[in-house]
Homo-oligomer: A and B are copies of this chain.
Amino acid sequence: MLDALLLSFGDELALGQIVDTNAAWLAQQLSAHGLLAAEHRCIHDDRAAIARAFSEAAGRARVVVASGGLGPTEDDLTRAALADALGEELVEDAAAFEWIAAYFTGRGKPVPPQNRTQARRPHSASMLANACGTAPGLMARLGGAQVFVLPGVPREMRAMFAGEVAPRLPPPQAGAAFIATGMLHSFGMAESEMGERLRDLMARGRNPTVGTNVSGGQCAVRVRAVAADRQTAEQQVAQALDEAEKKLGKEFVFGRNGTSLAQAAIFRLQLEKATLATAESLTGGGLGAALTGVPGASDAYAGGFVTYTDALKTAILGVPEHLLRRHGAVSEPVACAMAEGALEKTGADYALSTTGIAGPGGGSEATPVGTVWIGLAKRGMPVLAKKFVFLGTREEVRERAVWAALQMLRNAP
């Protein structure tokens, strides 16, 4: 008997129109509870297929967590399919209907008739509250399994899992191994170089297991430990992360377990009680967006400029026209002048600038697509700029430029 089996419903998933991120998120949550979601299934919008998936899953796992198909429209079949699997009729849940009605009347709107179907549940099932939308979830006992059904919208699904499902999960199976996982995040070192430095830790057959994987230019070290209890597994993970970080170096490793590079950069600024301004061409605002994505960023990030055209680089940042004419916008002197301009106009302590060629067009032999100059100015220090050549699509070049800028700030003298 498996600990847990995940089900995801929807034609958009089955057809590959969207990627199923819910399953990975739920699997992480369950493994944090000591439950391994050893199998995930995605099923297209077909009532009989969904009903069969419920029955098979309940025959195979102690816990079944399903998502999708609870919306108010006609292709939302999950309620009916669960009722089929249970051999029951759908009934209207009075409390759920009241709640849905309140959701709409509280917004000054009549209840749309199709939203009334969202108050229906199989006879023996109960409702799970939705803190962020109109679709209540469902909970039922099917065979020996506890079945939870959540909305497909990730935000609603996550809130409902945290509030309604997690507190009701059974404990890990007696004698079962506890799995702990952890990650280090790095930017700027090639995966092959990391593999060489971590060779001993990555040897087969070791516990914890250590692996690397690249995702969009950042490289993560993944650690997984198996032990008889949670504490031992977590200690093994922490120790392996420490060792790996030492071998790779803090210049490259910027955080653990989901810390972003922007958070790490903001953290350095906050420690120094310093402020940062930005002057972006290539990244067009992406650097500012990454920084302001961190809650509380306003302590450390003042703001900046998006000078996408040469004219604005001169008009707003005071980049001398002769520098643009002589060296081109994608050049060391222009990156330096942009950073200096941002420092001066904002009164910040640090400034970062980006200029480059994201492609697909616009490259030349001397300055191919992917060429990026990043400038770093610090009050009272000489300004500097560093050149990078990134491979990849337009989006990838721009994203790597944001990360390279944040990493330069983290490593600023």
Interface residue ranges, A against B (CB under 8 Å): 10-21, 23-29, 31, 36-46, 49, 71-75, 112, 114-115, 132, 134, 152-155, 179, 181, 183, 191-193, 195-196, 199, 202-205, 209, 211-216, 220, 222, 224, 278, 280, 283-293, 295-298, 301-309, 311-312, 315-316, 345-346, 359-361, 391-396, 398
Contacts and interface: CB of A to CB of B under 8 A. Distances in A.
A373 to B, nearest CB: 17
A205 to B, nearest CB: 7
Task: Work out how many copies of this chain go into the complex.
Answer: 2
Given A209-B75, A289-B285, A41 B40 contact: yes
A125 B199 CA distance: 28
Contacts of A302: 308-309, 311-312
A391 B216 CA distance: 29
A90 to B, nearest CB: 16
Contact of A392 (B71, B155, B285, B392): B155
B45 A36 contact: no
Given A192-B134, A308-B301, A16 B37 contact: yes
Contact of A38 (B14, B214, B288, B394): B14
B31 A24 contact: no
Query: Nearest 5 CB-CB pairs, A to B?
Result: A284-B292, A285-B288, A285-B285, A16-B27, A16-B28
A27 B17 CA distance: 8
A316 B29 CA distance: 45
A298 B211 CA distance: 41
Contacts of A346: 312, 315-316
A315 B18 CA distance: 44
B312 A308 contact: no
B295 A284 contact: no
Nearest to A393: B155
A114 B297 CA distance: 42
A22 to B, nearest CB: 10
B306 A278 contact: yes
Contacts of A312: 302-303, 346
Nearest to A282: B292
A181 B15 CA distance: 9
B75 A202 contact: yes
Given A17-B28, A49-B38, A298-B308, A212 B392 contact: no
Contact of A16 (B31, B75, B191): B31
A306 B134 CA distance: 36
Contacts of A345: 315-316
A256 to B, nearest CB: 13
Contacts of A27: 13-16
Nearest to A213: B12
Contact of A181 (B17, B71, B74, B395): B17
Contacts of A20: 19-20, 23-24, 40
A167 B21 CA distance: 30
